[in-house]
Amino acid sequence: MAVSATYCTKLPNYVKLILLLLSFVVMLQMIWFYSKQGFMALIFDTHDQKNAYLVMPDEGPNLSSLPNLASISWPHHSRPNFTRRSVGTGFELTLSKGQHNSLERLLREFERVMISLKLQDQWFLAAGTLVGSLRHHEIIPWDDDVDVCVDLRHRKSIQSALQNLPSEFRTYAQSVRLFEAYAMR
């Protein structure tokens, strides 16, 4: 139910309060229903995982307290996918183990730099890297870069920190993408 903002300002305060309470009750019922279905277990089962998903000011994510995704019973669909026809054998361009390791080292180094700048909660994975983390639980096998987004106001401090990395890493600016960092072999 969508209500325009101008309509809400004309309502008496007691009606606004009733609407707010009703929406709260509906939200609680939805949470209760989905928690019974097992969908909300990860969100509310944090008694031994205090702040598991929070990135704290002076540290990175607490990886030891995150849930083991392999222990979750994910749904398995036994029906065939009729929305897309088979295209035969797939185009299987994959990174070599060395290339894959270089991308992971680059991402770990970027995370280390962001933690050292106290900006660990100011960046996130984006584009193909985000899709890979959701779909493959790591880097997409055929993606040849790591995509992260950072607020523009932190660009100067991040650029100077990245330029001070060991000589195995190099940075350069280009016109299309404002700034990129690469691991050199």
Residues of the chain with pLDDT under 50: 1-6, 38-49, 178, 183-185
| pLDDT tens per residue across span 143-180 | 777 888 888 888 888 888 888 877 777 777 665 554 55
Q: Among positive and negative, which fits the CA dihedral 54, 56, 61, 67?
A: negative
What is the C-alpha separation between 41 and 128, in angstroms, rounded? Answer: 28
pTM over 0.85: no
